[in-house]
Structures are given as structure tokens and as C-alpha cells.
Amino acid sequence: MSAAGQGRQTGLVVRGHGRHYLIEDHDGQRVHCLTRGKKSDCVVGDRVRWQRSSEHEGVIESVEPRRNLLFRQDEWKTKSFAANLDRLLILVAVEPQFSESQLTRALIAASSAGIEADIVLNKTDLPGADAARARLAPYTAMGQRVLELSLKGRPEASREVLMPLLDGQATLVLGPSGTGKSTLINLLVPDAKAQIGEISQALNSGRHTTTTTQWYWMDAARKNALIDSPGFQEFGLRQIAAPDLASYMLDFKPYLGECRFHNCSHRHEPGCAVLVAVEAGRISPSRYRIYDELWNELSSPPKY
């Protein structure tokens, strides 16, 4: 039977650009595939049904049902990061100073998708580490795990912290430029540059820059995966309704259902348990300000 005549197979999307995707089959072989139509709904991490069209290429027929999908959505478009994730690492650094609003938005997106998330504070060897810790103190206090690393200063210690956490997982690394994502990838994926070259050649994408999501295997057995994602300036949450927002904020959860009114917005109503917690210092003012800003954003009509 010719390559084009072989039946459908299941494969893993490891990278994509436009209608062009790199699919990994059961044996670990990677094949350049196209989608049938002009529009594609595939993302990295998807399991797809595909069929060979020639010896070196194939066609994606359909996307298998997803366990989850991490994405951001603003007024104009939806941007997907990856599908079928076990964990999200949100990488921030002592320098440059991180945006608490963007950090909160990423945590909310992960919570709404049912994905476990950890915050990783990098560059803790720098003089501003205590100030960064203070800004993250409300997250630690509400039970959010915060890992402290120095990826360049103490690479082996960082590896020892991360590897048990990532074992058997498909983990997406998310964070702004300059936080050390490339350093983390190169530390945990010994042949990362080789994988980049292989994928760039297969997709004819030239020199690699992190403009698309990239799947890496951390081990030869292909059990531990690390997924790199492009940096971002904005993180819209238009997929979330304003009344649902509080349920995705870990520090608000203990007080939900304790308000006088069942449909409390936690912004101005009398007898609001969340506002009482803010006044008492049990919810940090900075976290509440972000909630208020997000509520206004999500409850306002689109501008287009």
C-alpha cells in the first residue's frame, strides 16, 4: 500500500503555524501536516486524527476531544496557548518587575480551565528579591504555591526543585519576556536546540524565535513534556462572565456564599463577606483592586 493510501492515525501536535502543523506519531516520528480547510482549530497538545498524503506529509482530519484548553480572549480575538495540560508554570522574576495583574489573569485562566498552576519566582539571587517576595506574599498566604529559583545562579538546585514536580506531566511555561523561560527550557531539555532545529526545518520556518507554542520532550521515554509559549503584553479574560470571576480567585473562595445577597458582586453591597475580609486584611488590597478592575472590564460591553 502506498503512503498516501494508509489509514488514519492518531498523532500529537507539537507545533503549528497557520495551516501547517508538525504531528508526532506513536513511534515518535514527526510529519508535516496540513489541515483540510482554510481555518484550523488545532493547537499544540492536541491529539488529532491524520492521514498520510505522501511519504513525508499528511493531512489532519479531525481533533480528538480535549481534557482542557488554556487560552486568552480579548474583544477581538481568542489566542490559544495549548491543550491537554497537566500543569502551568507561571514564570516571573525579580527583574524585570512583574505585573501582578497579568499574574492574576493567568491564574484565573488556569483555574477556569481546570489546570493546576504554580508561580515560579526566578532570579532570587538579585538584590531586589525581598521586594519581589513581599509582592507575592498574598499569593503564598492564600495557599498558592510559589517556587523560588535562580536558574542561572544555581541551575542544579533549580533542576532538583522542578524535576519531581514535572514528572509524568505536560507542563506549559508561561511568562513575559526576560523572566528566564529560555534558560529554564535549556536547563530541563538537554536537546532543546536540536528539537528547535528539527521543527524549524520541517516547517520551513527559518531561525527559531518564540512566536508560537513549542512542545519539548524532557526524556527519551516521552513521558515528561515542557511546552514553551510566546510572551504576551495583554491577557484578556473575556471568556469569563463577571459574576463568575470571584469563584476563580483562591483568596475569595472562603467567603463566597457568606454574603447577605446570593448574587453579591463583592463591590458595594451591604453585608458582603468579601469586603469585610478586605477591611480586616484577610484579602490584600492589591488583589481586590485587580478584582474590581477585572469586574469592570468583563461587565462592560465590547467596544467593537
SS (H, E, C) 120-141: EEECCCCCCHHHHHHHHHHHHH
Angle, helices 181-188 vs 192-203, to 10°: value is 110
User: What DSSP state is assigned to residue 236?
Assistant: -
Residue 104 lies in a domain: yes
Residue 285 lies in a domain: yes
Q: Give me the mean pLDDT over the 131-149 stretch.
A: 97
- Cell numbers of 162, please? 522542578
Is it the case that residue 21 has pLDDT exceeding 50?
Answer: yes
**Is residue 145's pLDDT more than 60?**
yes
Question: What separation in angstroms does the CA of 111 have from each of 214, 247, 256?
Answer: 22, 9, 16
pLDDT tens by residue, 239-297: 999 999 999 999 999 999 999 999 999 999 999 999 999 999 999 999 999 999 999 99
Q: Are the CB atoms for 107 and 247 separated by under 8 Å?
A: no
pLDDT at 212 over 60: yes
Q: Is 180 annotated as a binding residue?
A: yes
Same domain, 131 and 204: yes
What is the tens place of the pLDDT at every residue in 149-193? Answer: 999 999 999 999 999 999 999 999 998 888 999 899 999 998 776
182 labelled ligand-binding: yes
259 is an annotated ligand-binding site residue: yes
Please count the other Cβ atoms lying within 10 Å of the Cβ belonging to residue 245.
21
Phi and psi for 60 in degrees, rounded to 5? -80, 125
The answer to whether residue 237 is domain-embedded is no
108 and 193 in a single domain? The answer is: yes
* For residue 99, pLDDT beyond 90: yes
The answer on whether 177 is annotated among ligand-binding residues is: yes
Residues 59 and 73 in one domain: no
- Alpha-carbon distance of 137 to 9, in angstroms, equals 48
Instruction: Answer yes or no: is 178 a known binding residue.
Output: yes
Q: Cis peptide before 176, with omega less than 30 degrees from 0?
A: no
At which of 228, 255, 276 does a domain end? 228
Last residue of a domain, one of 46, 63, 80: 63
Pairing of the two strands 116-122 and 47-52: unpaired
Find out whether 122 is annotated in a ligand binding site.
yes
Q: Say if residue 302 carries a ligand binding annotation.
A: no
How many other CB atoms are there within 10 angstroms of residue 131's CB atom?
11
Binding site annotation covers 78?
Answer: no
Model confidence, pTM? 0.90
The tens digit of pLDDT for each residue in 102-130 reads 999 999 999 999 999 999 999 999 999 99
Q: List, for residues 35-89, the tens digit of each pLDDT value.
A: 987 677 899 999 999 999 887 899 999 999 999 999 999 878 889 999 999 999 9
Report whether 7 belongs to an annotated binding site: no
**CATH number for the domain that contains residue 254:** 1.10.40.50
Quick one: 171 and 24 in the same domain?
Answer: no
Q: Per-residue pLDDT for 90 more than 90?
A: yes
Q: Is 272 annotated as a binding residue?
A: yes
The answer to whether residues 15 and 100 belong to one domain is no
Q: Is the pLDDT of residue 304 over 90?
A: no
Give the C-alpha separation, 161 to 122, whole Å.
12
Q: Is 124 known to sit in a ligand binding site?
A: yes
35: containing domain: 3-63
Band of pLDDT at residue 204, cut at 50, 70 and 90: low
Same domain, 21 and 104: no
Q: State yes or no: 186 annotated in a binding site.
A: no
pLDDT exceeds cutoff 60 at 208? no
53 and 118 part of one domain: no
Same domain, 156 and 215: yes
304 within a domain of the structure (yes/no): no
Q: Are residues 130 and 222 in the same domain?
A: yes
Residue 242: phi, psi to the nearest 5? -50, -45
Local structure of 14: helix, strand or coil:
strand
Say if residue 42 carries a ligand binding annotation: no
Give yes or no: residues 58 and 75 share one domain. Answer: no
**Same domain (yes/no): 180, 31:** no
